């Protein structure tokens, strides 16, 4: 087993290094890795391993948690149109259309046609949201449209799995299931209210007071996994529970640090998820049914594109390029479809070989998705000139904040911020000492709670748009680490550092910093001025 793990890591590294030369995303590399190791070690049946699938699923769980951190309850209320109107219509119309085609045109059994139609309605949360979150496109209108529809799809997984359960038993009391769902929703809403209102902020306050990074990371993992498990106990999806937990933390001051700490876990587990997706590719199925798979792939993508485009068109404020980009973003079939088909196959609800053909079609559509998302603007340019995007980008450029970023809100940081405020200069502060953070809040400062030595926190503070970065931190080791990170992200000329001694200055000069102020030197000059 250890040999398989080592080989998987080695193949994943080689594959992604090769693909990066062609500027292709790591998602495709992980899928190819899964396919390679499944044949190399004869693991075609390992994908059904319960434990492996559960580990892989938590990649999506952590993804949904970090997405939830970006969207507070207030934000989700503002997106109710995208979630409930666009998302609801997309699922209903797509499912109905595919069902009618499968049942009447391909003469599939009623149960098989229904399950396949519900699976096809799903798009890939893991790929689309990961890509949009990394590129910042999730904040654009087509990103919001896609996000709303994907959230509704995630919610819809619950009733879909219940429907499959009803079909598989044939003896289930439907009224009992409805009552069970009602009480589950009631319990979930009550838990959200109690935890969000009374428990979350005091819990994090006590954790932060320990000044232990390990405890903070442990608490974030506990909340993400605990919320997922709680949702699962109520028969909801793991990822829905994680998303809700993320939204609750988004209401607190700790959301940026929570996201920064969780990203490494998310990316590793997402890699495992995509490896398991690649393990489901079977070449003999592709060869035997290549023409059917190709026709299915093209037809499904075309149908989903037309439906999503028509739905998004309902709202007049969505321009043509927004409609195009939203539609192209969601034409694939997603990972939840694999879960739906897996459960259906386990209960013998899909006729052979339709289950395997659909699985291959889903995986191929997921492989194509990163390439589509990467070239979204170019594809849209082919249909519509980019004048609308150019205007949007010009508007964004006008609003870019050429701010000064202050790392630390001690006496020196407070003095700098006071001077900048008096001069009318824009600035932002990062502080991870809870007491200093609260002082900054009391002074109505624009401040982010988080560790400035974490590059994700620096990104949240728009470091790439900063005019200058002033490091006002007294801890020499932490200061050196921050400077090391900063040099990888911005030009050294933008960095201004305050240190206590010449020894500290020497170590920073060695790594290429130029603007270093030695506190002892300044004090000495002031004293000599009076002699």
Give the tens place of pLDDT for each residue, 55-69. Answer: 667 777 887 787 778
* 514 C-beta neighbours (distance < 10 Å), count: 11
Decide if 361 contacts 300 (C-beta within 8 A): yes
Decide if 308 contacts 387 (C-beta within 8 A): no
- Does residue 269 have a pLDDT over 90? no
Gyration radius of the chain's alpha carbons: 26
pLDDT confidence bin for 324, thresholds 50/70/90: very high
Least Cα distance to 465 among 392, 390, 404, 396 occurs for 404
Least Cα distance to 157 among 25, 341, 359 occurs for 341
HEC states along 181-215?
HHHHHHHHHHHHHHHHHHHHHHHHHHHHHCCCHHH
- Does residue 394 have a pLDDT over 50? no
| Strongest mean pLDDT among 260-269, 308-317, 351-360 | 308-317
Calculate the average pLDDT of the chain. Answer: 83
pTM tops 0.85, yes or no: no
- Does residue 329 have a pLDDT over 80? yes
Question: How large is the average pLDDT for residues 238-249?
Answer: 82
pLDDT confidence bin for 397, thresholds 50/70/90: very low
Cis link prior to 353 (omega < 30° from 0)? Answer: yes
* 12 C-beta neighbours (distance < 10 Å), count: 22
Q: Distance between CA atoms of 423 and 416, rounded to whole angstroms?
A: 11
At residue 395, the pLDDT reads 43
The burial class, CB within 10 Å (0-12 / 13-18 / 19+), for 489 is middle
Is 75 or 41 the better-scoring residue by pLDDT? Answer: 41
Q: Distance between CA atoms of 105 and 296, rounded to whole angstroms?
A: 13
Q: What are phi and psi of 406, to 5 degrees?
A: -105, 120
Least Cα distance to 515 among 401, 404, 400 occurs for 404
DSSP annotation of 106: S
pLDDT tens-place string over residues 423-460: 889 999 999 888 899 899 889 899 999 888 888 888 88
438-444 contact pairs (CB < 8 A, 24+): 439/409, 439/414, 440/409, 441/253, 443/414
Decide if 153 contacts 336 (C-beta within 8 A): yes
pLDDT tens-place string over residues 78-100: 888 998 999 999 999 999 999 99
- Does residue 399 have a pLDDT over 70? no
Q: Distance between CA atoms of 343 and 350, rounded to whole angstroms?
A: 10
Q: What are phi and psi of 162, to 5 degrees?
A: -65, -40
DSSP H helices in 71-109: 73-78, 80, 87-100
Partners of residue 515 on adjacent β-strands: 496
- Does residue 76 have a pLDDT over 80? no
């Amino acid at each position: 087993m250890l040999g398989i793990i080592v080989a998987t890591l080695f193949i994943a590294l080689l594959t992604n290094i090769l693909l990066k030369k062609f500027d292709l995303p790591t998602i495709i590399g992980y899928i190819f890795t899964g396919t390679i190791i499944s044949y190399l070690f004869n693991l075609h049946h390992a994908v059904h391993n319960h434990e492996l699938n559960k580990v892989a699923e938590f990649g999506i769980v952590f993804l949904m948690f970090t997405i939830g951190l970006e969207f507070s309850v207030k934000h989700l209320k503002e997106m109710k149109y995208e979630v409930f109107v666009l998302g609801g219509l997309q699922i209903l119309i797509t499912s109905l259309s595919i069902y009618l085609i499968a049942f009447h045109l391909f003469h599939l059994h009623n149960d098989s046609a229904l399950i396949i139609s519900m699976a096809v309605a799903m798009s890939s949360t893991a790929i689309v949201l990961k890509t949009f979150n990394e590129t910042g496109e999730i904040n654009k209108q087509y990103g919001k449209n896609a996000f709303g529809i994907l959230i509704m799809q995630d919610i819809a997984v619950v009733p879909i799995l219940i429907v499959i359960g009803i079909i598989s038993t044939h003896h289930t009391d439907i009224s009992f299931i409805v009552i069970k769902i009602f009480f589950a929703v009631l319990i979930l809403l009550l838990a959200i209210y109690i935890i969000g209102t009374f428990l979350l902020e005091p819990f994090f306050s006590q954790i932060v007071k320990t000044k232990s990074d390990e405890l903070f990371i442990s608490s974030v993992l506990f909340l993400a996994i605990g919320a997922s498990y709680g949702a699962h106990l109520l028969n909801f999806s793991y990822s829905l529970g994680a998303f809700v937990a993320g939204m609750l933390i988004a209401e607190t001051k700790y959301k940026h640090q929570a996201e920064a700490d969780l990203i490494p876990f998310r990316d590793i587990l997402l890699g495992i998820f995509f490896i398991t997706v690649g393990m489901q590719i079977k070449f003999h199925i592709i060869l035997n049914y290549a023409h059917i798979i190709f026709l299915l792939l093209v037809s499904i993508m075309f149908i989903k594109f037309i439906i999503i485009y028509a739905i998004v068109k309902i709202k007049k404020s969505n321009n043509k390029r927004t409609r195009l980009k939203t539609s192209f973003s969601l034409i694939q079939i997603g990972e939840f479809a694999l879960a739906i088909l897996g459960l259906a196959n386990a209960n013998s609800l899909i006729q052979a070989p339709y289950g395997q053909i659909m699985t291959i079609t889903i995986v191929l559509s997921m492989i194509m998705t990163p390439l589509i998302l990467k070239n979204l603007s170019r594809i849209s340019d082919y249909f519509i000139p980019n004048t609308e995007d150019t205007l949007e980008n010009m508007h964004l450029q006008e609003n870019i904040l050429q701010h000064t970023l202050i790392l630390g809100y001690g006496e020196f940081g407070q003095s700098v911020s006071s001077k900048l405020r008096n001069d009318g200069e824009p600035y932002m502060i990062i502080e991870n000492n809870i007491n200093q953070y609260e002082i900054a809040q009391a002074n109505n400062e624009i401040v982010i709670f988080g560790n400035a030595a974490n590059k994700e926190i620096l990104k949240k503070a728009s470091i790439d748009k900063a005019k200058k970065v002033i490091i006002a931190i007294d801890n020499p080791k932490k200061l050196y680490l921050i400077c090391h990170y900063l040099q990888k992200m911005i030009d050294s000329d933008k960095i201004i550092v305050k240190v206590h001694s010449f020894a500290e200055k020497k170590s920073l000069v060695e790594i290429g910093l130029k603007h270093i102020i030695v506190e002892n030197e300044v004090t000495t000059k002031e004293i000599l001025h009076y002699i």
